[in-house]
Structure 1
Amino acid sequence: LNPIIFVHGGSGSGAQFESQAMRFASNGYPQSHLAVVEYDSGGLDFPEDLPIVHAEIDARIAELQAATGCAQVDLMGHSRGTTVSHDYLSFPERAANV
């Protein structure tokens, strides 16, 4: 199973994904394979600040790869989180880890 990184939307936070994470865990998904990316969506200058969020995603991916031994992760976004994820994946060196 690939680890999952949840990417929240505008005016949101990682807490938005608490119920989804609980559902994954209750269905046997290891808690160690679930993470969120936190960023200041309210103060985000879009798209100028995307490199800051990309660096946070990079860090989460590296942490999960080290903790789980998995080469790739899955990104799951909501609202603006899908836009952030899509932009992140436009870089081939980053997309290789997803």
Structure 2
Amino acid sequence: METDFPGHPPYSVFVDAYRNIGAPDAAAALEKAVALFPFARPELDANARNEFMPHLGDDHEFNDLSDRVCGDETIWRRMDEYVAIHHNDFAPYITQ
């Protein structure tokens, strides 16, 4: 959440993506983390996010939620499996 994604897609796109690849816990954690921001549409402003997050403290729930998404090694495997199953959908974007 430290940087903006190109086009500023809503975080709900990523929540849906986690659900689609079979990572409902990561989806729920991201959804809950996004809801902790005290301003609407946090995906639109990296500066505001970066100003807010340090004030939460090390023991804040946000850190646990972040770990549940970023620290879940199974997500990479699930993404690989999803792409393998839906290869035709991704083929135009694969350059190798």
Query: What interval of TM-score do these two structures reach, taking the shorter chain for normalisation?
Result: 0.3 to 0.5
| Higher-Rg member (1/2) | 2
Q: TM-score, normalised by structure 2?
A: 0.32
More strand by share: 1
Q: TM-score, normalised by structure 1?
A: 0.32
